Every structure is written in C-alpha cells, then in structure tokens.
Copies of this chain bind each other. A is one copy, B any other.
Amino acid sequence: MHILVLGAAGMVGRKLVERLLRDGQLGNREITRMTLQDVVTPAKPLDASIAISLVTSDFADPASAAPLLTHRPDVIFHLAAIVSGEAEAEFDKGYRINLDGTRHLIDAIRAVGGGYKPRLVFTSSIAVFGAPFPEKIGDEFFHTPLTSYGTQKSICELLIADYTRKGFMDGVGIRLPTICVRPGKPNKAASGFFSNIMREPLAGVEAVLPVGDDVRHWHASPRSAVGFLLHAATMDTAAMGARRNLSMPGLSVTVGEQIAALERVAGKSVTARIRREPDPVIMGIVSGWPRDFVTDRALQLGFTTAEKTFDDIIRIHIEDELDGKFVA
C-alpha cells in the first residue's frame, strides 16, 4: 500500500513516519511506498527498505495537490497546517494554508476519479471549541472557535464530512489533545509551558511556569497521537455514519497534578527546577482553553491512549525521547 503524509516534517509527522516504517504495515497491509511532503524537505528516513519520495511544496499552492496523487495513495495523513499563533498573526496566510490548501487537496482527490476514494486522516484541534464551555466538553457540543486557526480547522472538518458523504473520499477528522510532553526546544506557543515544565527539568534545565497550579488542561502523549492516527487510518468508518470528526481521548490534569507526577517519576530534585513566574497575559489566554472532555464516541470507535496517568506520559517521554535516562 502507498501512504502519503502531508506535513511530514512536523513533530507528529516525523513520529508517524518512524512508526509506519518500523511496523512495515498498516492494518495488516504491507506498506510498499511512502510519499512525504512538507514545505521544508522532510528528512529521508535511514535504512528504509521501501520506496520513499520526498516532496517539498507549498501546500496552499493550487498546483501542488494533484502531483501528490499521481500514484493514488491509499491512505493520506493530512497534518499540514500553520499553527495557531501564526494563523492569528498572519490572517491571509492562515486561510491560504489551513483552509484553501485543504480544499485544493480534497478537490484534487475528487478530480482523480475512476473510483479513487482514499482514506484521508485529518488532524483537527480542540481549538474548534471556544469559551464559555462546560467543565467537560461532550461529543455534541458546538464549535465556536475563538481563533482563526480554530475556525479553519472547524471548516475543514465540515468539508471533509461533506466530501465523504458525497463519496469523493473516506475521511476522518481527529481533534488531538495538547501533545505532552512535546520534544524539542521550548517554543513561544502560549501552551508551551505544559511541556516545558516537564521536559526541561528532566534535562537538568530550569523551566518557567507562568500560570497557577490549579490550571487544568487536556493532554495526550506523542505516542498516543500516532496511535490515534493509525487507528483513524485503519478503522471501519462505516460505524461513524455521517459524523466524520471527533475529539480524541486524553487526560485532564492540573498543572499541580503534572508536577506531582513528575516528582513521583523523577524526584524532588527535578521538580525543584520549575520556577513559578506568573504571567497575566498567558494566564488570560489559557483561561479560554478547554479543560476536560467526555470522548465516549472515540472510545466506542476504538481510539485508545497509550497512557492511563500523567506519570505514564512522563515515562513515555523518558523512554521515547531520552533513551530511558534523565538528569536527576
């Protein structure tokens, strides 16, 4: 089978590709070819025994979609997007990439014709929800995004459901929780601290906590995110009916619970590297974010997380990113 990954150079994309190559198959079908696309050239996986094409292209370019479909990929993972902060700061760019790019893609899929109907797995976001919302957001709660990014994701969900209903493709949209612990360097995203206060202390580095310990948020590990993507690519979509988009399971914990978990897993010397430095701006932004979900539908459809507790999330980070070692 042939798999196309759009946005393959991003954090989740890289981990997905790694996992697909390790498994060698998807849903009991052998993977024979992969196409990896991103706006920067994705890294060529080492020692891959199958044909891998790397494509560097602007996802928003109307001409970029059709060539990616020449070999009729069976499964398309659509992870291509600019992030929330950038979409908010650069209005036109956000709509161009996050909305128009998706539309070019699905129109190109439709244009292939001849019964071509690939599985399209789209990463949506909990940013489709905007405050005020209930303490736990259910599967039938409405979308009132408070960012352009959330608006664009919500629109793509609607498009994917309609194009699927019309028989042009077999689409599934999954709303990922905040990914934690996010590997790599600290970034300027307002949500960055949720990962920073775990990752940096484990690396022996100090991290700043800009909000109170009582701030509650919704998390899943990178390993879980990849698991969601694989399940979305292989599940029987008939069970979804016309409702093709859904919130993924996750863990709802407070920052205080995160820190307590870090202390259990790594000790007090590690949590001592967290410096509390309240930032009213970040506190304001975070107060408008979802805190908890009821994801019965995803659970019924077989989506599962790799972690039962936040301790597991930290252990997964130590295993997958730190070779089992941290700076005590």
Q: Which residues in A have some Cβ–Cβ distance to B below 8 Å?
A: 91, 130, 140-146, 148, 151, 154-155, 158-159, 161-162, 165-166, 242-243
Contact = CB atoms under 8 A, between A and B. Distances in A.
A186 to B, nearest CB: 28
A146 B166 CA distance: 10
A143 B243 CA distance: 10
Assembly stoichiometry (copies)? 2
Given A151-B159, A154-B158, A165 B142 contact: no
A200 to B, nearest CB: 34
Nearest to A168: B91
Contacts of A162: 145, 148, 151
A141 B142 contact: yes
A134 to B, nearest CB: 9
Name, among A151, A159, A162, the residue most crowded by chain B CB atoms within 10 Å (CB to CB). Answer: A162
Contact of A158 (B151, B161, B243): B151
Nearest to A166: B91
Contacts of A144: 161, 242-243
12 contacts: A130-B242, A142-B142, A142-B143, A144-B243, A145-B158, A148-B166, A151-B159, A151-B162, A155-B155, A155-B158, A155-B159, A158-B158
Contacts of A141: 140, 142
A-B complex: 3 closest residue pairs judged by Cβ atoms: A151-B162, A142-B142, A140-B142
A183 to B, nearest CB: 31
A315 to B, nearest CB: 35
Nearest to A91: B166
Nearest to A134: B140
A130 to B, nearest CB: 6
A287 to B, nearest CB: 14
A146 B243 CA distance: 9
Nearest to A128: B158
A143 B242 CA distance: 12
A148 B243 CA distance: 14
A111 to B, nearest CB: 11
Contacts of A151: 158-159, 161-162
A144 B140 CA distance: 9
Nearest to A94: B162
Contacts of A243: 144
